[in-house]
Structure 1
Amino acid sequence: MFTSMPATVLIVTDVFGNTPAIASLQRYVGLSCIIASPFDAGYATNNEQQAYQAFLASGGVQAFAKKLKTIAQDQQQLTHVIGFSAGASAWWLACEELSLQLDSATLFYGSRIRDHLDIQSHCDTHFIFAEHENAYQPNIVVKELRQRGHQAEVAIGCKHGFMNPYSAGFSLRMQTHYLEILAQKLHKQEMLAFGT
């Protein structure tokens, strides 16, 4: 789909790919968006285990980060990035090597971010982690990120995937809460950019 306005928002999906939920997010944001999925066009699933296996087969976080670098280099007009899970981790790995003039990045529960805390982001980055993770303690990661000057928080009572209706950890209440915050931030920044 082509639009007359250049896209300003990059939405980086989780392992489910470009699902109808991502299309809903795009409509909710109300700005011109590019969707980056770890998969070739057309692949999406609502089965979490199948999605994760397909993601690993596609090369995992490193391959996704490489793909994001290519996308971002071709889209110099981008001002915002929204990333989820594997997409958040992949963006974090990719962002240090990019010279985009982004206003902000909002990264939800990117598990592998914990392995790369020293990356230098070139924009205001807001990290939101689920309180309940099996592989690590989000509170420790949040503390480390805050000490490095980032905005980071834990979504209390949430499990990984709380923003995605296809995930076992989905929380409609928390999804609604963070979508409102995200929309306010994006539209405030857009109004500032146009001097209104």
Structure 2
Amino acid sequence: MQTFIITDIFGVTDKLFAYRQQLERCGCRVQIIDPYQGEKQEFTSEQIAYQRFNLDCGFEAYVSQISAALADSSREKVILGFSVGAAAAYKALDKLSPGCAQEMVVRHLIGFYPGQIRHHLDINPRCPVTLVFPRNEQHFALDKVISCLTEKPRVCCIRTPFAHGFMNPLSVNYHQAAANHYFGQLSGENMRLPPQALQHILLPKQITQTL
């Protein structure tokens, strides 16, 4: 199985490299897609990272980059995206021709805090999708977005008690216990589970009780 990891505006991180090694030890082929052609960045703030993302890449270019990578792979695949990477992957999948070989072997898209997805609520995914949201978002009404998405038959939404960016050590909202749990549970086999089955193993009570 091939796993695509789609990064947020910070690009590749040591945490993602460690996760890639975790998956590779289980026999997965892993490809990390980021806005900066694999070059590790040293951003001092999220604002600077956002400016660099818009300057070097931008959302639509990121969608095209992801879509091209998916179209170039005929293997069974799962996709794991973070923030803008999750939303871009959601749109990139929609750009694949319905019924094409590449689309048919996408087993699961798992996206963490995909805020930009609010601009693409007209998309009806043709593969299983699990979206893991934060407790709230600063710039839009998250309740309305989740309500719309949960009406789609292949989409499962999970709302966590954590803040946007909790999976990334470079984010001010990083939550180490939550990140370690999610990365630990997202093994190659678990990511192939149907969204409803995956939902039951992702957020343990012991993490929420420590907040």
TMscore range, shorter length: 0.7 to 0.9
Residue 158 of structure 2: aligned partner:
153
Letter in 1 for 2:156: Q
In the other structure, the counterpart of 1:21 is 15
Q: Does 1:185 align with 2:190?
A: yes
Q: CA deviation at 1:187?
A: 6.8
* 8 A contact 2:7–2:81 mirrored in 1: yes
Q: Is the 8 A contact 2:59 2:88 kept in 1?
A: yes
Question: Equivalent of 2:48, from 43, 47, 50?
Answer: 50
* Matched residue SS, 1:35: strand
Contact 1:19 1:45 in 2 (8 A): no
Aligned to 1:167: 171
**Deviates most, 105-114 or 30-39:** 30-39
Unaligned runs of 5+ in 1: 1-6, 190-196
CA distance in 2, matches of 1:78, 1:57: 33
Unaligned stretches of 5+ in structure 2? 195-211
SS for the counterpart of 1:136 is coil
What residue number does 1:141 align with? 145
Matched residue of 2:22: which SS? Answer: helix
Change (3 A) 1:178 1:154: same
Structure-2 residue corresponding to 1:68: 66
For 2:137 and 2:160, locate their aligned partners in 1 and report how far apart those are by CA, in whole Å.
11
Shift of 1:117: 1.3
Aligned residues: CA RMSD: 1.9
Give the TM-score normalised by the residue count of structure 2: 0.79
Paired residue secondary structure (1:16):
coil
Query: Deviation at 1:19?
Result: 1.8
Using structure 1 for the length normalisation, give the TM-score: 0.85
Identity %: 26
In 2: Cα distance, 1:59 partner to 1:46 partner: 16
* 1:126, distance to aligned residue in structure 2 (A): 0.1
CA pair 42-112 structure 1, distance change in 2 beyond 3 A: same
| Distance (whole Å) between structure 2 residues aligned to residue 176 and residue 41 of structure 1 | 23
The alignment of Structure 1 onto Structure 2 pairs a total of residues equal to 182
- Most deviating of 16-25 and 40-49: 40-49
